[in-house]
Amino acid sequence: MKSARAALSGIIAGALSVLAFTVIHNLWISDIWDSLTMMLAVGSVCGASLGWSYALVAKAPSRAGWVRYNALYVVVLMVLGLVSLLVFEPVTTIGELLHTRQPPIPLIKRTLPMMLAFTLATAMALSVLYRTDWRGALALLLTSILLIFPLGLNISILGLVQLSGTALRALAAMFGLVLLLGSVYASSFILLERKRLLARR
C-alpha cells in the first residue's frame, strides 16, 4: 500500500466526510456553511495524514485494520471529553458560548496542557502498538497533532461548560457528529483503496 496514494485517497475521503458533517450540522444544529472552506482544508489535511500514516505503520493493510486504526483515534477523542469532564469545573454555559459567537480562546488555553499530554500519549501508545520505526513514530505523532488539536478543541473544553439538559443533548450531538465524521471518512477511504486493502490480507 503506497503512502502517497493513501494520502491522496485520504484527502478525498476527508473532504467527503466534511461535506457530510456540514450537511448534518446545518440540518439539525446550526448553519456553518460559511466555515466550509476552512473545514475542507482541515479535513483534507487530517485525511491525508491518517491515510499516509496508516500506510507507513500497518505491516499488512486490510479493511479491518483500517477501521481499527480510525476507531483508535475516535476513542481518544471520546476519552479526551470524558477526562475534561472529570478534571475541570464549569465556568460558563452553552448559552453564553453561543451568544458570543466567538472561539472560546480563554477556555482552550486552559485545556492546552491536557491536549498536549493526550497527543504525546496517543502517539507513544500507537507507536508501541504498531511497533514502528522512527519514521512511523514521527508519522503517528504528526497525525495525532493534526487530529487531536483541530478536532479536539471543542471536546477538550466540555468540563468547563455547565451541563444542563440542553447541554447534555448538545454533548450527545457532538459525539454523534464525531462518529459520523469518522465513519464517513473510513468508509470512503475503503471504497477508494479497496483493491489495495484486499491485496495484502
DSSP 75-107: HHHHHHHHHHHHHPPP-EEHHHHHHH-S--HHH
Q: How many residues does the chain have?
A: 201
Give Cα 125 to chain centroid, integer Å. 17
Q: What residue ranges do the domains of the chain occupy?
A: 3-199
For range 48-56, the mean pLDDT: 95
Q: Please give the Cα distance from 64 to 79 (Å, whole number).
A: 22
- Backbone region of residue 71 per phi and psi (left: phi > 0; alpha: psi in -120 to 50; beta: other values): alpha
Provide the angle, in degrees to the nearest 10, between the axes of the packed helices 63-87 and 134-156.
Answer: 50
pLDDT of residue 187 exceeding 90: yes
pLDDT tens digits, one per residue of 145-166:
999 998 888 889 988 988 776 6
Enumerate the H helices of the chain as residue ranges.
3-28, 36-57, 63-87, 94-100, 105-130, 134-156, 165-192, 194-199
pLDDT tens digits, one per residue of 74-130:
999 989 988 998 999 999 887 787 677 677 888 999 999 999 999 999 999 999 999
Confidence (pLDDT) at 48: 96
Higher pLDDT: 128 or 197? It is 128
Confidence (pLDDT) at 201: 46
